[in-house]
Amino acid sequence: MLTWTVKQPADGIVVAPDERLPWPQTVALGIQHVVAMFGATVLGPLLMGFDPNIAVLMSGVGTLIFFVAVGGKVPSYLGSSFAFISVVVAATGYAGQGANANIAVALGGIVICGALYALIGFAVMATGSGWVERLMPPVVTGAVVAVIGLNLAAIPVKNMAPTPFDAWMQAVTFLSIGLVAVFTRGMTRRLLILVGLILATVVYAVLTNGLGWGKPVSGALIASAAWFGAPNFTAPIFDPKAIILIAPVALILVAENLGHLKAVGAMTGRSMDPYIGRAFVGDGVATMVAGGIGGTGVTTYAENIGVMAATRIYSTALFVVAGLFAILLGFSPKFGALIHTIPLAVMGGVSIVVFGLIAIAGAKIWVDNKVDFTDSRNLIVAAITLVIGTGDFTLKFGDFAMGGIGTATFGAIILNAVLSYGRK
């Protein structure tokens, strides 16, 4: 049974993964992690037409599955993966607003994606992680992560601002988030998405409910919702076309998780390499479980790293608390009603910021790993990947079409392998 060494709180104290503060402080810090992950965990399912309650519930369940898989050694929170958005939208024909009528088809693809991801994890456990790092060096992973954000850019710009007023409200939203990011400190800055969203919603309510400039905010859904109740679970349908479209996202999740573990290792001063295979398995199983009942695929969250960097508390005990608290939120219909009350234009502004941050995260992988762009191979791999992914370059194989993120992912891997031929 895993136990943590208890440390007493003090200014500047560093708490290692196998240590913890007394339980009252640990519980408070665990809840803080859920709040910090809240924006992206909820935004992801909304952009795919999934039930946010199930997404939050499965982020908690997934976090606990991951914790067990790595033996409680890796401090990480699992939340909704944005890598699924474009392929789910393509597989279901989702229009970008309301519930996704074809969610079951997407769920089948997500389950198979999780299974493929877990198989990669078992292969890494058996053979080591060297082949994964050779297959996807930083120039590839950086380009693929950047493409996820760039490929999705048209969703908020084209689909989430039906009127000129809504477009202006998108601008107000991303300006609000920018002001929070630059001019605040501490946890307010760490919660920039959530705080900016609240500020923009208040402005929206004043301009619509007060001045009548747009569709007013209604609290009727919140008032009628129960405090506790089961979310709307959905069983998957295994459609071959959707599976072929969604399953390759496993490679993107591998790239995300690999980079995350390297960052956590550097931050904690403890190598996470021995847990790479187990982390892949945990994330894969969590994705299968989520897809099996109506949730989005999950992945390790970069926001998690930001919170740990700010607090210098890396205790894995926090993530047991965070997982349990997320599960509790998932069983609150009133929480789900609150999410659905957020104006579409405000969510569009948040999406612009989030997708932009994903793109920049890809570039940060290049910077952190000192990718040499005077090397023609790196230059060509990155350049072609970015353009085909952003432009949604599509290849058709009979009735099946592989869109931008898929072609960019496989294209980057294959192009890098071909151009690396003969190199040591």
Predicted confidence at residue 321, as pLDDT, reads 92
- SS3 (DSSP) at 397: strand
Predicted confidence at residue 400, as pLDDT, reads 61
Q: Lowest-confidence range among 54-58, 130-134, 312-316, 402-406?
A: 402-406
Predicted confidence at residue 344, as pLDDT, reads 81
Q: What is the mean pLDDT of residues 364-373?
A: 86
Counting DSSP H helices and E strands in the chain, the numbers are: 20, 6
Confidence at 11, pLDDT banded by 50, 70, 90: low
Predicted confidence at residue 306, as pLDDT, reads 63
Q: Strand 5-6 and strand 19-20: pairing?
A: parallel
pLDDT tens per residue, range 38-92 = 666 777 888 888 888 898 899 999 999 999 999 999 988 898 887 788 788 888 8
Q: What is the mean pLDDT of residues 280-302?
A: 91
Confidence at 111, pLDDT banded by 50, 70, 90: very high
- Whether the Cβ atoms of residue 136 and residue 259 lie closer than 8 Å to each other: no
- Whether the Cβ atoms of residue 232 and residue 51 lie closer than 8 Å to each other: yes
In this predicted structure, the answer to whether residue 288 has a pLDDT above a threshold of 90 is yes
Q: Lowest-confidence range among 118-127, 150-159, 383-392?
A: 150-159
What is the rounded CA–CA span in Å between residue 81 and residue 255?
A: 12
pLDDT tens per residue, range 252-273 = 788 778 877 877 777 777 888 8
In this predicted structure, the answer to whether residue 402 has a pLDDT above a threshold of 90 is no
Q: Which residue has the higher pLDDT, 31 or 240?
A: 240
pLDDT tens per residue, range 299-341 = 887 666 766 766 778 889 989 999 999 999 888 888 777 777 8
Calculate what percentage of the chain has a pLDDT beyond 70.
91
Predicted confidence at residue 355, as pLDDT, reads 77
Calculate what percentage of the chain has a pLDDT beyond 90.
24
The pair of three-digit structure tokens given for residue 46, joined into one six-digit string: 């909304």
Q: Which residue has the higher pLDDT, 198 or 302?
A: 198
pLDDT tens per residue, range 209-255 = 888 888 888 877 788 878 888 888 889 999 988 888 888 888 878 87
Which residues contact residue 84 at a Cβ distance below 8 angstroms, ignoring those fewer than 6 apart?
A: 44, 48, 106, 110, 113, 246, 249, 296, 297
In this predicted structure, the answer to whether residue 105 has a pLDDT above a threshold of 80 is yes
Predicted confidence at residue 266, as pLDDT, reads 72
pTM: 0.76
Return the H-helix or E-strand segment holding 78: strand 78-80
In this predicted structure, the answer to whether residue 36 has a pLDDT above a threshold of 90 is no
Q: What is the mean pLDDT of the chain?
A: 84
